Amino acid sequence: MMLTWKDVIHFSVNGNPEPDKRVEKTEQEWKEILTPEQFRVTRKKGTEAPHSGALCTSHDAGKYECVCCGTPLFDSTIKFESGTGWPSFTQPIKENAIKYHKDTSFGMIRVEVMCNTCDGHLGHIFPDGPEPSGLRYCINSESMQLEKEESNG
């Protein structure tokens, strides 16, 4: 199933799909397993500077996972160059991998995307991505780790 902007708005207003599992930790437990920058971005809803993230220009095959809990979020096959300075994707790996939340901070209305398993802040989603979905998941590199595919040969 391909998610559309209409689906994203529906989830942000009416509730998100149930995750396969939940991971809950205290703030101290998160601080013990994350770097200070990963903690700032994922647990405090921070943003890394554009064009600064290690995964921005990565084109290795594999799965992008939540840096907090290891949940698969995006596949490398749907990553694209948006020119925004953050890794961009057109679809999540599964419909229930991502949680959507209306974000009214900084005097604008956006849709925040979080890991649906642990509520880690990932970034935001916009309706200006490539067809066929038209979606652009704009994700902080600090929120993800790339589990590279094993190459044959």
Active-site residues: which are they?
Answer: 138
- Amino acid letter for position 38: Q
Find out whether 69 is annotated in a ligand binding site. Answer: yes
Find out whether 118 is annotated in a ligand binding site. Answer: yes
What DSSP state is assigned to residue 141? G
Distance CA 101, CA 116 (A): 11
E strands along 54-97, which residues? 62-66, 72-75, 79-80, 88-89
CB atoms within 10 A of CB 1: 7
Query: Which residue has tokens 């780790």?
Result: 145
Could you list the residues known to form a binding site for Zn(2+), using ranges.
Answer: 66, 69, 115, 118
Could you list the residues known to form a binding site, using ranges.
Answer: 66, 69, 115, 118
